[in-house]
């Protein structure tokens, strides 16, 4: 029998024991995947939609009751969400359901075991608007791998203005570049408010907005790529005109001081504080503003997106991108499918609408949702102005193989805008030509690599000579 | 027999105590270094399982990228601005704070050291508010003189210098502590003897303090220069490398390709990281060589003088 009274522990034995114990603990902590807290016990759901956190927490709790299984919802900041998923995948702890923030095309995700098929019931499929599930985007060989729940019909460079300042200063909602100049000048001359703020420090956001403005300015493509020729052409007049407009605004001193280094929350926050006339932001601005200063919501107004002469806006967008994926190693495929089906219901679509973030897939629910009038107006505008764009990976899913190899170009359009407004770039068109050359070269190299790996893909897949502006593209 | 067993048992204990350090150092230092060397030879996005061996093409691509060389230039420029300010500024401050006649010396040491123990990312965020040209205190002071707002972080001409000065303020204290520790090694007897011989403060400084601190200059300079290559957290929170790459040090360049790209390029970023490691090694080796050579020449000169 062990006599504890005779057990002597020297200092060395004690410290050594503690050291060995700590080491054993460390090794245990580095151990296998099955030890992750919560893994396998229920459904784990991760996303990066900051404006939907509260709604998704509630939705997760409601669905947990219906499914009889815990649903653990986790929000990850967009800046960290990719790394979080990378680490989760490497340690075989991918959440059962996660949002689409991984930049890889669908076939690469399927090949790498990141996603598994989604089995939607006929009832759920019937609720999806026509053309929601598209081969090459959300399906491969007829199998659904990604579920879109947000609309592709949107534009991102919306001209938001403060209706109180508009009334006080006396400017009209601008539709054209000249009207915009006039309104900004009126605010500057008035002297009580700053005319405009942008997220100039967030060069990716500036790139997105300039891409949209160039398209509404007549560029026959998107993100620098011409639909008709399949060539990058950032040096097009439509791009130059947009950037020159921004330069003129900056040189006139019409930007709120500090705008050069503003990130998205900085710019939105300053505008929501109420002393800036205009902000260029996406349709999700009301949701973001509500989180920062709800009192500003009633003052929000928008005139849509600018066109050079105030002509009718024409925007093109690809098929709805998948929003939700199911992990390749989920232990609850049936329950996860039911959770995903719940996202197709009108009440979930109404939740999306009322969050006033990205518009829901079913745009019709917005009219009856509790949203501010400008948001409802924008969504109605989307229905009229946004058309379906051609996409190489829809015409030939093998194009996805090339897209997975595509290196991003640097400096990209947003960087060039930042540099041109700050005086670091002096030859704008020359810099845009260089960007086009780099992007074309990167695409050619990506196609060569994909072709070398056996994919039947060529640069011709990117050219849609029969594309017409203002018409939904049909293959 | 017993005499052989005892050293063996003692050695076992030594290895047992060292094991946690070996394991942690191996897992968090050695493994990432070796892994980054491997990744620099593959094309890998971090998402897919496939890592395609591409030889030295990542290195070729990095070396052909003008933005890589821009980041090298900015990193070296940053180091050249920051290191002398930290080394010599902290030196003179340490001399001052080491004076027995200075009142509140402990208080001042604490005040200068406080930024060192404050989280760098928090300092970066707070500094953005302080330097905000629209509503920050700097803007308020500038406004008192009727001057237009100054956007120190939004202008590529001033952003690097501004971040460098904030960096110096943040890490000034650690170099000061090095010098204070060095000053403690000078025996008080030497100072007393000099005073008895009639030496004044200036002569004591020139003929005792300076010569006796010189051996510490090498190690403090090496440590500070190596430290100056690591400014990622401050730079990322203050400018994120902007505007237009004007503050993009190599660490941010690596981060941009590894994590901020739409499809991460971990192989390319690893190649840049390996080249960065080589750069740090070269700079420190050059600096050590220059210091040792100057010391040798000086000692040769002294011997010739004696002869």
Question: Given this model, what pLDDT does residue B30 score?
Answer: 93
Q: Which of B154, B235, B241, B245 best tests the A interface by mutation, with the highest count of A CBs <10 A?
A: B154
Q: What is the mean pLDDT of residues A27-39?
A: 42
The encoded tokens of residue A138 equal 């959300």
pLDDT at A371 over 60: yes
Taking an 8 Å cut-off on Cβ atoms, the answer to whether B20 and A23 are in contact is yes
In a domain, residue B25? The reply is: no
In a domain, residue B35? The reply is: no
**Cα of A415 to nearest chain B Cα, Å:** 6
- Which candidate from A103, A112, A260 shows the least CB-CB separation from B154? A260
Taking an 8 Å cut-off on Cβ atoms, the answer to whether B244 and A425 are in contact is yes
Query: Which pLDDT band, with edges at 50, 70 and 90, does A10 fall under?
Result: low
User: Which residues form the domain of B95?
Assistant: 54-297
User: What CATH number corresponds to the domain at position B89?
Assistant: 1.10.3720.10
What is the chain B residue with the closest CA to A79?
B260
Query: Which pLDDT band, with edges at 50, 70 and 90, does B295 fall under?
Result: confident
What pLDDT, in 10s, does the model give residues A190-224?
Answer: 999 999 999 998 999 999 999 999 999 999 999 99
In a domain, residue B147? The reply is: yes
DSSP A295: G
What pLDDT, in 10s, does the model give residues A372-406?
Answer: 999 999 999 999 999 999 999 999 999 999 998 89
Q: Which of B6, B263, B267 best tests the A interface by mutation, with the highest count of A CBs <10 A?
A: B263
Residue A201 contacts B where some CB pair is shorter than 8 Å: yes
In a domain, residue B100? The reply is: yes
What structural domains and CATH numbers belong to chain A?
Answer: 39-147+321-360 (3.40.190.10), 158-318+393-462 (3.40.190.10)
pLDDT at A21 over 80: no
- Which candidate from A26, A103, A113 shows the least CB-CB separation from B263? A103
In a domain, residue B46? The reply is: no
Q: What is the mean pLDDT of residues A37-43?
A: 67
What is the chain A residue with the closest CA to B54?
A449
Question: Given this model, what pLDDT does residue A33 score?
Answer: 38
**Cα of B66 to nearest chain A Cα, Å:** 10
Residue A203 contacts B where some CB pair is shorter than 8 Å: yes
Taking an 8 Å cut-off on Cβ atoms, the answer to whether B265 and A103 are in contact is no
**Cα of B47 to nearest chain A Cα, Å:** 6
Q: Which of B48, B51, B238 best tests the A interface by mutation, with the highest count of A CBs <10 A?
A: B48
Taking an 8 Å cut-off on Cβ atoms, the answer to whether A16 and B13 are in contact is yes
Rounded Cα gap, residues B31 and B49, in angstroms: 19
In a domain, residue B26? The reply is: no
**Cα of B52 to nearest chain A Cα, Å:** 11
What pLDDT, in 10s, does the model give residues A256-311?
Answer: 998 988 988 889 999 999 999 999 999 999 999 998 999 999 999 999 999 999 99
In a domain, residue B10? The reply is: no
In a domain, residue B49? The reply is: no
Total domains, chain B: 1
Question: Given this model, what pLDDT does residue B294 score?
Answer: 74
């Amino acid at each position: 029998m062990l006599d504890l009274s005779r057990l002597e522990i020297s200092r060395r034995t004690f410290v050594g024991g503690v050291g060995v114990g700590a080491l054993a603990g460390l090794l245990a902590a580095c151990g296998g995947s099955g030890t992750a807290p919560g893994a396998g016990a229920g459904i784990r759901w991760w996303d990066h939609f900051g404006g939907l956190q509260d709604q998704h927490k509630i939705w997760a709790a409601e669905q947990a009751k219906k499914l009889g299984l815990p649903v653990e919802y986790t929000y990850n900041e967009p800046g960290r969400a990719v790394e979080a998923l990378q680490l989760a995948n490497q340690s075989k702890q991918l959440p059962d359901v996660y949002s689409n923030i991984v930049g890889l095309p669908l076939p690469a995700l399927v090949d790498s075991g990141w996603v598994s098929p989604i089995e939607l019931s006929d009832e759920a499929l019937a609720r999806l608007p026509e053309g929601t599930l598209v081969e090459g985007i959300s399906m491969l060989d007829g199998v659904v791998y990604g579920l879109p729940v947000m609309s592709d019909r949107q534009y991102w460079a919306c001209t938001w203005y403060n209706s109180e300042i508009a009334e006080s200063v006396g400017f009209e909602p601008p539709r054209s570049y000249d009207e915009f100049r006039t309104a900004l000048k009126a605010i500057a001359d008035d002297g009580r408010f700053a005319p405009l703020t942008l997220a100039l420090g967030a060069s990716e956001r500036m790139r997105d907005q300039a891409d949209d403005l160039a398209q509404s300015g007549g560029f026959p493509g998107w993100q620098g790529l011409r639909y008709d020729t399949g060539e990058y052409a950032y040096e097009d007049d439509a791009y130059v005109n947009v950037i020159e407009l921004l330069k003129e605004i900056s040189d006139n001193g019409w930007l709120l001081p500090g705008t050069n280094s503003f990130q998205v929350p900085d710019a939105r926050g300053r505008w929501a504080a109420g002393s800036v006339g205009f902000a260029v932001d996406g349709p999700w601005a009301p949701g973001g503003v509500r989180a920062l200063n709800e009192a500003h919501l009633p003052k929000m107004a928008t005139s849509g997106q600018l066109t050079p002469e105030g002509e009718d806006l024409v925007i093109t967008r690809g098929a709805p991108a998948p929003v939700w994926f199911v992990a390749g190693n989920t232990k609850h495929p049936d329950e996860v499918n039911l959770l995903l089906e719940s996202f197709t219901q009108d009440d979930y679509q109404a939740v999306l609408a009322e969050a006033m973030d990205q518009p829901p897939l079913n745009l019709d629910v917005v009219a009856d949702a509790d949203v501010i009038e400008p948001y409802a107006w924008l969504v109605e505008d989307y229905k009229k102005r946004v058309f379906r764009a051609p996409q190489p990976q829809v015409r030939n899913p093998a194009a996805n193989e090339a897209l997975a190899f595509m290196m991003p170009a640097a400096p990209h359009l947003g960087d060039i805008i930042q540099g041109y407004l700050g005086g670091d770039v002096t030859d704008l068109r020359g810099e845009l030509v260089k960007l086009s050359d780099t992007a074309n070269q990167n695409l050619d190299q990506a196609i060569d690599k994909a072709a070398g790996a056996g994919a039947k893909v060529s640069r011709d897949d990117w050219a849609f000579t029969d594309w017409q502006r203002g018409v939904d593209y049909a293959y | 027999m017993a005499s052989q067993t005892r050293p063996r048992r003692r050695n076992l204990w030594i290895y047992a105590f060292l094991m946690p350090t070996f394991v942690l150092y191996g897992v968090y230092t050695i493994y990432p270094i070796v892994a980054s060397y491997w990744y620099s030879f593959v094309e890998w996005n971090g998402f897919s399982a496939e890592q395609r061996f591409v030889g030295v093409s990542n290195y070729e691509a990095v070396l052909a990228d003008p933005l890589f060389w821009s980041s090298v230039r900015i990193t070296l420029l940053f180091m050249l601005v920051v290191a002398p300010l930290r080394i010599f500024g902290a030196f003179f401050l340490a001399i001052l704070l080491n004076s027995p006649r200075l009142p509140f010396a402990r208080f001042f040491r604490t005040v200068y050291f406080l930024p060192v123990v404050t989280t760098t990312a928090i300092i970066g965020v707070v500094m953005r508010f302080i330097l905000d040209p629209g509503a920050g205190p700097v803007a308020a002071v500038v406004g008192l003189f009727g001057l237009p707002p100054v956007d120190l972080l939004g202008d590529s001409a001033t952003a690097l210098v501004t971040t460098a000065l904030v960096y110096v303020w943040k890490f000034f204290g650690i170099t000061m502590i090095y010098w204070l520790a060095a000053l403690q090694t000078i025996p008080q007897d030497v100072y007393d003897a000099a005073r008895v011989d009639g030496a004044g403060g200036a002569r004591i400084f020139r003929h005792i303090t300076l010569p006796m601190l010189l051996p510490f200059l090498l190690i403090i300079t090496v440590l500070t220069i190596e430290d100056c290559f690591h400014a990622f957290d401050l730079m990322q929170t203050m400018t994120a490398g902007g505007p237009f790459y004007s503050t993009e040090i190599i660490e941010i360049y690596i981060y941009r390709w590894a994590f901020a790209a739409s499809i991460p390029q971990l192989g390319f970023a690893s190649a840049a990281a390996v080249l960065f490691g080589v750069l740090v090694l070269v700079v420190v080796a050059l600096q050590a060589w220059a210091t040792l050579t100057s010391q040798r020449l000086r000692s040769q000169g002294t011997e010739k003088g004696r002869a």
